[in-house]
Each structure stands twice: as structure tokens, then as C-alpha cells.
Structure 1
Amino acid sequence: MSHEISLSRRLVIIFSIVFAGEIIFSLPFHVARFFRPTLLDVFSLTNTQLGDIFGLYGIMAMLAYFPGGAIADRFSGRRLMSFSLLTTALGGIYFVQIPSPTGLALLFAYWGVTTILLFWASMIKVTRQWGGKATQGKAFGILDGGRGLVAAGVASIAVLMITMAFPTSSVVMNINEQTSAIKTVISFYSLLTVLAAVLIWFTIPKVKTENLAINTNSITAHKQRNAIAGIIEVLKQPKVWLQAFIVLAAYCAYKSLDYFGLYATTVLGINELDSARMVSNASYLRPIAAITAGIIADKLRVGRVISWFFVLLSVSYLLFSLLLPNTASSNLIIEANFLLTFLLVFAIRGIYFALLEETKLSGQLTGTAVGIISVVGFTPDIFFAPIAGRIIDSAPGIDGFNQLFMLLFGISASGFTAAYLLAKRVKEQV
């Protein structure tokens, strides 16, 4: 295989990465995101219980991020990603049996390892190398935007499958129909996860991932770094910690999107299928937001763009907490703000890993840096769902959601502070 990869092959590679990068999280996250009211009824769970289950996933994921980064710097992304997808799909066989809350907790703990340890840092590293030095914003915008398109597309198909299976139950489904619907969705996502594993195995080159960049002449050979020395080098850099906090704030905002379907049914009075349809349709904004943000970031600097997006997101959450629904004017504003929030969250999420190149972090330490940033940045997998579930359960209805939105306002404002400080530090380096 030549060192230069054709444009068509590069497109196939990035499509495979994008598809696999979203589908691996479909079983642990999509079912709850798009079908949360139905999931809660079928598994007889409260928001607090489901939040604690996600918290266990987060704990295992945190333990997996750090070693996963070092592993990604040493082994083939093709093998690591394919194996992760297959082991994740195996969990779907148990999920579709509708296990008890204890069994569900163990399943999510298992997924915390299979979706992260061998997959996450490999995906980020391959994407950075695929994008080269000049188009990091576009590369990560395509990755996250494409993942959003995959998420929305498969969710729409799942909603359509349920609608066709239960055409007379568009308003309220009984528990038997809800159980059949959830089993259909789980089986669908499990099959897609297996398909993603096959796709990665046959499309990602067997050669080292450095050869995925179209301009490989700019990549020079480096001796194998000592793993411990690399970790210490990364930990000593303040810019890595600032990036980690930016990811943390952005990921809290992203996790909040899981509750918009429940907000629609609980506060706005929308039925379960329409709620799932509304969230899946809003998810189509993700590719638009992420790719557009990537283009803008490549022109204006990533840190600066993220700073302004956090300002707008803070205002958006504050507006949610102040509005009262069920009047014509307020409902219209809420719906517009709903779309704005999705756009801003997707835009920030689409480009925050492009900061790796902007801050001039060594490419040879990408996996290690991603591991460290992810350990901090994705801690919301541990604490956000348990906190949000308790807030909503302790103050049912609009009051609980208003408290949640005020919490998110404060987190987003903190994200702006971290992004501003990082952008200032990058400017001083130029």
C-alpha cells in the first residue's frame, strides 16, 4: 500500500469512523435519549435509578479512558475499534431480555469498559491524523457532525419501525406494546453495532494510523516514547487541564439533551412517540452545527469560537429557567430555544478536540492527552445523570427542570471562563 491514500479511500475511512463512532454508543445511550419515557416504564425505573445506572457506566468509563489513551498510542486502531464494537453488541443480547435494575447496572458497567477502553482514544487519534495540520476544525466537525447525522438517522428509523408496528397506539401505548417497542429498538441497535465492527475491519488500513493523512510527507519517524514519561509530560501542561474542563462543561450540556424528551412529555404535554420524534429530528442539527463550527474555527481559532458559543449557551439555559410554558408566545420561544440549545451544544462538541492541534500538543502524545482530557472531561458520565435524576424526581414538573437549567447555566458560564483562558494562552504563544 502506498503512503498516499486517494480521496475516495479517505472518504470511505472517515465514513467508517463516523458511523462506528456513534453506533458504539447507541445501546447504552440512544435508547435512553430517544425513548426515555418508554424505557422508564418498561424497566420500572425512576429517573434517579436510571441516573445511578448511568453513573456506574461513567465510573467504569473513567477507569478505562486513561489506560485506553496509552493503548491507542501503541496498537492498531483497526483491531481495537472492531473488537470494542463486537463486545458492545454482545451486551445487546442481554439488554433485550429486559433485565432487573441490578442486571441493568452490571450491563452498563460492562459497556463502560467496552465502549471506551479500546475505542475512544483510537477514534480521536485516527481523526486527528486524518485531518492533517491545517483542517483540524473540519476533521472533528465532520466526525461529530457525521456522528450526529448517524444518531438522528437511525433514531428516525427506529421511531418509524415502532410507528409501523403499532399504528393505532400513536397517543398512548400499553405496557405490552411498550415492551415490544423497546425490544425492537434494542435489537435494531445491536445489529447496527455488529455492522459497524465489520465496516471498520474492512475499511481501516492495516498499516499504522499515521498513514491515514493525505499529506504523509509531513509526518516524520519518532522513536517509541516511554509511556510514563509521556504521561508526566502531558500532565505538566496547563493547557491540557483547561481543555479537560472545556470538555467537562460541554459534555454536561450534551448530557442535558437526554432530558429534553422527558421535558416535552412532562412539561409540554407531548406524547411519547412525538417526543421521540421531536428529539430525533432536532438531532439532525448536529452535522450542520458541528461542520459549520469547524469551518468557522479553522478561520477564527477554535478557543475563541468555543468561548462565544458558551456565552450563548449560558443565555439559552437561563431563558429556559425563566419561561413559563402553555401560552402561545412562550411555547414558540421555548421551541426556538430548544433548537438553539441543540445547535450550540453540537457546535461546541464538534470542535473541542480540535484544540489539541491549536495548542500545539505533540502528535505522538495524542492518545495519552486524549486519555487524560477524557478522564476529567467525561466525568459527567458519573455525576450528571444521578444529579439530574434527583433534581427532577425531588421537584416533579417544571420546577425540577428549572432547577436543572439553572445548574446548566452555571456550568456553561464556567466553560466560557476555561475557553477564554485557553484562547488567551494560545494567543500569547503565537
Structure 2
Amino acid sequence: MSSEPTQSGTPVLSPARRAAVLTTLIVAGESIFFLPFLLPRTFRPTLLEVFELTNLQLGTAQAAYGIVAVVAYALGGPLADVFKPRTQMAIALATTALGGAMLWQIPSLTSLKVLYAYWGFTTIALFWAALMKATRELGGKMSQGTAFGVLDGGRGLLAVAISTVLVWVYASLLPSDVAAATLAERTLAFQWVIGITATCCLLAGLLVLVVIPKQMTAENDTVSEGTLAERMEQARLGIARVLAMPSVWLQAAIIVAAYAAFKATADFSLYATQVLGADEVQAAKLYNLSLWMRPIAAIGFGVLADRLKASYLVIVCFALVLFGSIGLAGQAWGADTYTLFMVNVISVSIGAYALRGLYFAIMEEAKIPLLLTGRAVGLASVVGYTPEIFMAPFIGYLTDSWPGRVGHHYVYLSVMAFALLGIVAGVLFRRVVAPRAG
């Protein structure tokens, strides 16, 4: 059995090659989620109309993704400690892109649930832990915050760029008077959008095979050695070590709170239409503005995390989410101004998006061995990403049961509660886990 390093490995790639690999990880890491998530977030009113769905029905389809993803996180963690990341990621991107063909056909609600369940496996079991492990290897011991921050910030920049292009494509295929467009015209325009996103996902898989090397650090034991059976047994034994780490459980609590806040950002465009009276194109543009906060927040806070403690910044980010959620919950009762809306949206967006670049960077603070990265990511993700199961249907239930202002008021009251949970978990991580790890 190979020895397990007590810290992240030392990078062996040249600066130029490291930049190319990180860029590829960014492209792959965002492209795989275009179909299941970027489209509903950017075009939620359009998707509901074209697919003839309610908010709750779309939420239940997305919940199917979350249910499968819980199992997939548990499976994908050990796999990332057994196999090299590049092969897993390439297969995941190709199989996810294939799902775009089914989405293009505008399937029924039942078929849409099956499709989301399929994506729950392809994007998580084969991809997520492998992406996190590759990023940790690339970051080395001293640049975890920058690596994870640039990864998520770059993903955000790519998302807003692609989203902007998709909004332009969609709008250009509709009449100048968007409100006068027929359902057939909206459907055809949206099918073009689906085709573009599926193609991007497939091309990202090819890029992974070309650019990402088999090894990125000087450490030889970033994956288990021996026969496949021996490696799987080593992975099983390592799970017990991870289960005994308090840092992993607190990290999971942080991810739960952060991901719930992130999932609530999908409500921005619907909030704009139902509370502020925006049309679907205006709502998509308003949501795009919030997406611009992702690269700024993730990269900025990621760089700061290499100079300050990432766990401290986690608390700061949850405070921003809390502040913005209080504003959005209050604005749902009145004050129909875009300026106030965007101030609150920007606050929640900065906090939620920065957290996405921080909650895996804190693994280095807790001194989790590199060889156990996949299993630690898997366990933290199984618990941490449970909002993938309940948050979308929960928001759909609130906005369908209490249409208009009241439903959105309740949505952001719930986000406030998650922000408070995140602050508590962050404080406990600093006071209990981080000192022991140091």
C-alpha cells in the first residue's frame, strides 16, 4: 500500500502548462453544468412556458438530480482516489452532452425527471470529486485559495459569457416585440440554446483529454496503487479515517448553508418578473448581472484566502448573504426599485459565489491528506449538497403556494436561516477544528 502524504503535493508543471490545465479545468467544470443548471437559471420563465411546467414541477425534476447525486457523491469520492481525473472527467462530459439530445426534444415531465436523474450520475459520480482533486493537486500547498478561487471564478466568468451569448441568440430568434412571440417561436429559439450548450459540453471533454496530464504533482501517491481490487480495498479503508475527521463534518455543514444560498440565486429572475414586473429578457439580463459577481467574488476571495485564513472569509461571506437576504425578504413587501433589488442581489451573489471558491480550500487548513482528498470531498459533498434535493422543490412550493411577493419573502427568510447556520459552522471550524489541525 502506498504511503499517504500529509499535505498537498508539490506542482511539477511549468507555469504556462499550469495555466493551460487550470483553464481546461475551468472550461470542463462549468460546461458540464450548462444543461442541467445554467439554462434553468438564465431562462427559467421561458423553460416553464416551453415545457409547460409549474415551478414545483421543475423543482421535482431537479430533485431527481439531487437524489441520484447523493449516491453519486459517495461513489465518486473513492473513485477519484483510485483513478486519474482526466479519464473520469472526459467520460462525464461526453455522457452529459448526450443528454442534451433528449432535452432538445422538449420531453414530458416524467422524461425530464429521468433526464435529471441521469445527469445526477454523469456530472457527479464521474466528475465532481475528480475535478476537486485535480484542482487541489494543481494548487499545491501554498495556493489552495487561489486555485479553487480561480477555478470557480473562471467558471463564473465562462457562465456569464455563455449566458450572455445564449440570451443574445434567444432574443435574436424572437420578434422585436418579445411579448408578441408565439409559443412555437419561443420553443425553436430555446432549442437552439440547448444545442449550443450540449456542443460546448462535448468539446470540453475533448479538451480535457488533450490538455490535462496524467500527473500534476511530484507526489506519486495521489491515487492508490496495486491491482484494481487492492485499490478499491484501500479506498474502502480510507473512508473510516475520513469519517473520524471533525473538519470534514463541519465542512459539510458549511457547504449545506452555502449551497442553499447558491440555489436561491436561481430565484432572482423569477423575483424580477413577479415582484418588479420585468419581462423574460429583462429578467435574464438582471440575472446575468448577478452572474458577473461570481468571477469577481470567487477570484478575489480566493486570493485573499492564501493571505488570510479561508475559514475567516467563510464567515464574512455568510454575513454578506445574510445582509442581502434580509433586504430581498423586506423588498418583497414593497419598494419596487431595480436599484435596491440589485444591491441586495449583489450582496447575496458575492457571498454565495465566494463561498463556492472557499469551502474546499479549507481542506488544506484542516491538513487533510492528499490521498484522502476524494473520499473527504465525497463525504462532505454527500451531506453538503443535500440542498440539491430539497431546495428547488422547496422554492417552487413557496412561489407556487404564495404567488408573487409573499412567496419570495418566504424564500429569502429561509436563506437567512441558512446564512446563520453557515456563520455558526464557520466559527466552530475556526475555534475547534483549525487550531487542532495547526
State the TM-score, normalized to the length of structure 1: 0.94
> Would the aligned equivalents of 1:325 and 1:334 in 2 still touch at CA under 8 Å?
no
**Structure 2 counterpart of 1:397, from 399, 404, 414:** 404
How many aligned positions are there? 419
Look up the match of 1:166: 174
Following superposition of structure 1 onto structure 2, how do residues 171-320 of structure 1 map, counting pairs within 5 Å? 171-205=179-213, 207-208=214-215, 212-213=216-217, 216=218, 219=219, 221=221, 224=225, 226-320=234-328
Distance 1:332 1:249, change over 3 A: same
2:353 & 2:383 partners in 1: Cα distance?
20
**Between 86-95 and 309-318, the greater mean CA deviation after superposition:** 309-318
**Structure 2 counterpart of 1:137, from 129, 145, 155:** 145
Distance 1:270 1:326, change over 3 A: farther
The reply on whether 1:415 has 2:422 as its aligned counterpart is yes
Look up the match of 2:7: none
1:220 & 1:90 partners in 2: Cα distance?
35
**Structure 2 counterpart of 1:149, from 111, 132, 157:** 157
> Residue type matched to 1:405 in 2?
Y
Deviation at 1:180, TM superposition (A): 1.1
> Residue type matched to 2:37 in 1?
F
**Structure 1 counterpart of 2:331, from 310, 323, 329:** 323
Following superposition of structure 1 onto structure 2, how do residues 102-117 of structure 1 map, counting pairs within 5 Å? 102-117=110-125
SS of corresponding position for 1:353? coil
Look up the match of 1:379: 386
> Residue type matched to 1:83 in 2?
I
> Would the aligned equivalents of 1:21 and 1:123 in 2 still touch at CA under 8 Å?
yes
- Extract unaligned runs of 5+ from structure 2: 1-10, 226-230
Look up the match of 1:87: 95
State the TM-score, normalized to the length of structure 2: 0.93
Distance 1:331 1:275, change over 3 A: closer
> Would the aligned equivalents of 1:171 and 1:273 in 2 still touch at CA under 8 Å?
no
> Would the aligned equivalents of 1:172 and 1:272 in 2 still touch at CA under 8 Å?
no
CA RMSD in angstroms, aligned pairs only: 1.5
Identity %: 41
Look up the match of 2:3: none
> Residue type matched to 1:419 in 2?
G
Distance 1:307 1:195, change over 3 A: same
The reply on whether 1:36 has 2:57 as its aligned counterpart is no
Q: Deviations over 1:371-398 (max 9, x none)?
A: 1111011111111111111011000001
> Would the aligned equivalents of 2:269 and 2:283 in 1 still touch at CA under 8 Å?
yes
> Would the aligned equivalents of 2:73 and 2:378 in 1 still touch at CA under 8 Å?
yes
The reply on whether 1:63 has 2:75 as its aligned counterpart is no
1:399 & 1:374 partners in 2: Cα distance?
32
Look up the match of 1:332: 339
- Extract unaligned runs of 5+ from structure 1: none
Distance 1:42 1:333, change over 3 A: same
Deviation at 1:282, TM superposition (A): 2.1
Following superposition of structure 1 onto structure 2, how do residues 356-375 of structure 1 map, counting pairs within 5 Å? 356-375=363-382
> Residue type matched to 1:32 in 2?
P
1:132 & 1:231 partners in 2: Cα distance?
23
> Would the aligned equivalents of 1:268 and 1:325 in 2 still touch at CA under 8 Å?
no
Q: Deviations over 1:46-69 (max 9, x none)?
A: 011110111011001111111101
2:48 & 2:384 partners in 1: Cα distance?
27
> Would the aligned equivalents of 1:317 and 1:409 in 2 still touch at CA under 8 Å?
yes
Deviation at 1:172, TM superposition (A): 4.8
Distance 1:233 1:4, change over 3 A: closer
> Would the aligned equivalents of 2:82 and 2:235 in 1 still touch at CA under 8 Å?
no
Distance 1:195 1:165, change over 3 A: same
Deviation at 1:428, TM superposition (A): 4.6
